[in-house]
Amino acid sequence: MSTVSMTILQSLRAAGLTPTSARIGVLQVMAAQDPRRLNSEEIFREMRRRGMRTSLSTVYRIAQKLYAVGMLLREMDDTGKVHYRLPPTDADTQGVRLICRRSGQSVMLEDAQLHAGLIAAAAREGLNVAGQTLVLEVHSL
C-alpha cells in the first residue's frame, strides 16, 4: 500500500470515519489533483476514469461528510457551484496561495517575507491570521 493510501486511512480513522473504498477514492482523487479544486462531478468522473465504481450521489454525500469533519475545504465559484480542495499542509503556512476563481488554478508562493508582510497588514486592520495559510483570490479574464 502506498504512503498516500496509508495517510488517507489514518486520516479517515482519526476523523472517526470508516475507510470505505469510496471515501478512499475521493481522497485519492483530491490528493492527485492538489492544489486544484474540484466539484463533485469532476471527482466522480475522475473516479470512474480510474475504474472506481460509485454513483454521483455517493460522491456528493462523501464530499459533504469530508467537509463536515474538516478533511476537505469547500468554496463556491461565481455561479454558486461548490468546489472542494484539500486543506493546506503545515508547509503552506509560510506561503501565500494565489487562486484564480475563474479557472480554479492555484499557485503557492513560498515567500516568508510576503507572508509576514500580509500578516502584519492584516493585524493592523484588526484581523489575526497568524499561523494560517493566506489565500488571495484573483479574477482573471
Q: Is the pLDDT of residue 77 over 80?
A: no
pLDDT reported for residue 48: 96
CA distance linking residue 44 with residue 35, whole number of Å = 18
* pLDDT surpasses 80 at 57: yes
Task: Evaluate if residue 3 carries a pLDDT over 60.
Answer: no
pLDDT of the residue at 27: 94
Burial profile 43-80: b = 16 or more Cβ within 10 angstroms, e = fewer? bbebbeeeebebeeebbbebbeebeeeebbeebeeeee
Contact 37, 101 (CB under 8 A): no
Question: What are the helix (H) ranges across the chain?
Answer: 3-14, 21-33, 40-49, 56-68, 112-124
pLDDT exceeds cutoff 80 at 94: no
pLDDT reading at 107 higher than 80: no
Predicted confidence band of residue 43 (pLDDT cuts 50, 70, 90): very high
What pLDDT is recorded for position 89?
Answer: 65
Q: Give ∠ CA 107-96-141 in degrees, rounded to 5.
A: 50
